[in-house]
Amino acid sequence: MQQVSLNGHCLTQHQYQVSGLETRRTQGALTSHFQYDELGRLSEHRVSQAQQQTLFRRYQYNRSGNLTQVEDNLRGVTQYHYDPLDRLTQVRGNISESFAHDPAGNLIQDRLSNVSGNQLLFQGDCHYQYDEFGNLIQEARGTHQSLVTTYAYDCQHRLIRVEKPDGSSAEYRYDAFGRRIHKAVTDKTGQTRQTEFLWQGDKLLAESGEHHYQTYLYEYGSFKPLALVTGEGADNATPYFYHLDQIGTPLEITDATGAVAWSVDYHSYGNVAYQRKAEIVSPLRFQGQYYDAETGLHYNRHRYYSPSTGRFITPDPIGLAGGLNNYQYVKNPTGWIDPLGLTQCVGSCPPSDTYSGNTANFKKPEHIPMTQEKFDEIINQERFNRDAPTTYLPDEYITAHLDRFREQGGTIVQPGSFLNPDSEFKTWPPGKFAGLPEDMEPIISEFKRTGDHQVLNEKLALGLEDRALDEFKSQPILIIRIAPDDPRFKFEMPTGNEPGAYPGEWVPGGESKGGIREAVLKGAEDIRHEGDINKLASQFEKSEILGNE
């Protein structure tokens, strides 16, 4: 990504090293310069305006890769200390904190705490109660625990109502994919404010209320916020720009002139300690999190995170696939994140074009719940003789993965060059691959906009080169959208034994090397096309032919 534009005007410009690490960014009147250590970790971030430095941060790490010191021109020097398991134990600086951890990894802060079965029972003067599913349903605090906050959930364990001791309340609604699309907050006087949310995949795209409309832009391929635009419509749009820490948490927001419009200091686990400036409202916190002022919780896509306790209020919906402790946020908040509320991962992973451990030259994504060694082993096994996914992936992960296809259906990009009337192959192969619609549609839209066939070749891992790529470009392309209730098919987890699992391209875990979530179609071999793209298209209600017919 080299430039982001809004209504024909340049918002940001970006420059990169050969390795892919960003070195320079222009945001309005400000220019950011980034430097990295030999392991690709952010070591320095300088922001300047007209060659005058305005913001500066320098980062240091220990041999284990943990952040040990931050030097900040606004916040001074902060030092971090860890135990032998890389868990944060002490912070010394502008905001000093101490932490301890029990053997199960539960965070115990510098207040009297008690944890049983990984459920926090009390901390300080707060006492907690849970339902039979492990969801937090009550928080009581104050004298004789007289100040009570209650939490209610739907049948899918999603938070739908919170009632506070002052008489205020909040209600939440979700779409078919479990994304929060509406909240209504009623204060103690009975006045209600409503907010609607718009999504693009798993990322919050915009929010609107009676007196506000905000749009969020992110760095390519991540949950790191890049810009915030207030106002609806081209004439009312006002851009602001995020400045982040080493794991992508917003520290400052500046306007087009370079002036700071928003700035905060955080406690280690995400609570705001100081609001330095607040000319605008920005609810984005740790990557993937949205701050709810009415409860103090952070909405984290699949569940809610409590920054005051440093843990989730409900168990991990993917069970042990997300880790042994179902309430833990991350093992330390200075280097790890959990953008979806499912699985923790490293907050900043340097891109790499090569990996020699497997024939796909591909390193395992952090969120795939298997070891790198097992990942390599499965790839390197003989094609058509690979182990079943149930032998190396948790059942909960497979179920959650396939549930998305059962809800959304599947999308197939069928190159016309793959169809030949003279070929002996007159049907689809067994185990035809289909992509998840929410992942595929942006790629299809990009291809329609640019006409660049390489977009499809690279992001869909088609593996086409030279002559095959030229033929691909010269033939029409069929887009097939399979309904989730199509009785001809059943979605299954890819095994790597399918005819379309091309050597050097297929990787385990249900995702392509380009990050497209995929499933295979049981029953695909019953679809006859006779090498005719139009005959194939006629068998699907939602199909579209692009290019020359």
The tens digit of pLDDT for each residue in 505-528 reads 899 999 988 788 999 999 999 999
pLDDT of residue 549: 44
Tell me which DSSP letter residue 103 carries.
T
Going by C-alpha positions, the residue among 540, 535, 505 that lies closest to residue 427 is 535
Mean predicted lDDT score pLDDT of the chain: 90
Gap between the Cα atoms of 419 and 415, Å rounded: 7
pLDDT of residue 323: 75
pLDDT of residue 351: 40
**Does residue 466 surpass a pLDDT of 80?**
no
Going by C-alpha positions, the residue among 493, 444, 478 that lies closest to residue 549 is 478
Provide the percentage of residues in the chain whose pLDDT is more than 90: 65
pLDDT digits (tens, 9 = 90+) for 374-392: 998 999 888 788 999 999 9
Average pLDDT over residues 476-487: 94
User: Residue 360 carries which side chain, given as an amino acid letter?
Assistant: A
pTM above 0.75, yes or no: no
- What tokens does 500 get? 């379309």
- Residue 296 backbone zone (phi > 0: left; psi -120 to 50: alpha; other: beta): left
pLDDT of residue 313: 98
* CB contact set of 132 (below 8 Å; sequence gap of 6+): none
pLDDT of residue 109: 67
Instruction: Name the residue with higher pLDDT: 246 or 5.
Output: 246
pLDDT of residue 21: 82
Please, are residues 11 and 2 in contact by the beta-carbon 8 Å criterion?
no
Strand extents, DSSP E, 176-224:
180-186, 192-200, 203-209, 213-218
**Does residue 465 surpass a pLDDT of 90?**
no
**Does residue 504 surpass a pLDDT of 80?**
no
Residue 349 pLDDT class (50, 70, 90 cuts): very low
**Does residue 462 surpass a pLDDT of 80?**
no
Q: Which stretch, 104-113, 366-375, 475-484, 503-512, has highest mean pLDDT?
A: 475-484
CA dihedral sign, ordered 267, 272, 277, 280: positive
Lowest mean pLDDT among 115-119, 167-171, 181-185, 256-260: 115-119
pLDDT digits (tens, 9 = 90+) for 50-89: 889 999 999 999 988 899 999 999 999 999 999 988 899 9
Tell me which DSSP letter residue 230 carries.
E
**Three-point CA angle 81, 83, 84, nearest 5°:** 130
Greatest alpha-carbon span in the chain: 83
Going by C-alpha positions, the residue among 341, 335, 267, 331 that lies closest to residue 105 is 331
